């Protein structure tokens, strides 16, 4: 379920960056792509890696919705604090919607959180643009 939502939200973000929608323009998560020198190329790359992960899981997302092969000149940095924040947010959703994956991913977590290959991790807290929910 989560990867389907990620795909849909990523496609919506792509439409925003293309100027093809009026809503969603100020979503804080868009900042990481807007700050890249070619935001559209960055979101396309992000979506390409989501597509590959979905394919591994047996989903059949429409690759024609993106034009990327995943390669960009430089990766986008993301802070460890932001990764932790987003992971905790995911765990809250899983606890309500998917107990089995909550147990596997969140409760018994032993490993480092893996990010989309588009990103590289640096020290730091939650991003200033993030809207912190309680």
What is the pLDDT, as a whole number, of residue 134? 61
- Residue 20 counted as domain residue: yes
- Residue 38 counted as domain residue: yes
Residue 82 Cα to chain centre, angstroms:
12
Q: What is the pLDDT of residues 64-114, one digit of tens each?
A: 999 877 778 889 999 999 999 989 988 998 888 888 888 888 877 767 888
What is the pLDDT, as a whole number, of residue 2? 79
Burial 73-91 (b: 16+ CB within 10 A, else e): eebbebbeebbebbeeebe
- Residue 9 counted as domain residue: yes
pLDDT band at 131 (very low <50, low <70, confident <90, very high): confident
- Residue 101 counted as domain residue: yes
Closest CA to 87 of 126, 46, 39, 48: 126
Query: Does the pLDDT at position 1 exceed 90?
Result: no
What is the pLDDT, as a whole number, of residue 46? 93
Number of domains in the chain: 1
- Residue 32 counted as domain residue: yes
- Choose between 28 and 61: higher pLDDT: 61
* Full residue range of the structural domain in which residue 57 is found: 2-122
Q: Is the pTM of this model over 0.75?
A: yes
- Residue 63 counted as domain residue: yes
Give the pair of three-digit tokens for residue 78: 């993301």
- Residue 117 counted as domain residue: yes
- Residue 133 counted as domain residue: no
Query: Does the pLDDT at position 50 exceed 80?
Result: yes
Q: What is the pLDDT of residues 14-41, one digit of tens each?
A: 999 999 988 777 787 888 899 899 999 9
- Choose between 26 and 6: higher pLDDT: 6
Q: Assign residue 70 a region: left if phi > 0, alpha if psi is -120 to 50, beta otherwise?
A: left
């Amino acid at each position: 379920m989560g990867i389907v939502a990620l795909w849909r939200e990523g496609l919506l973000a792509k439409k925003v960056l293309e100027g093809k929608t009026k809503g969603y323009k100020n979503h804080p998560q868009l900042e990481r792509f807007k700050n890249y020198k070619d935001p559209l190329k960055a979101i396309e790359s992000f979506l390409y890696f989501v597509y590959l992960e979905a394919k591994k899981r047996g989903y059949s997302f429409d690759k024609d919705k993106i034009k990327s092969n995943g390669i960009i000149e430089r990766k986008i940095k993301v802070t460890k604090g932001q990764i932790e924040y987003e992971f905790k947010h995911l765990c809250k959703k899983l606890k309500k919607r998917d107990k089995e994956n909550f147990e596997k991913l969140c409760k018994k977590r032993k490993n480092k959180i893996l990010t989309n290959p588009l990103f590289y991790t640096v020290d730091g807290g939650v991003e200033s643009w993030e809207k912190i929910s309680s």
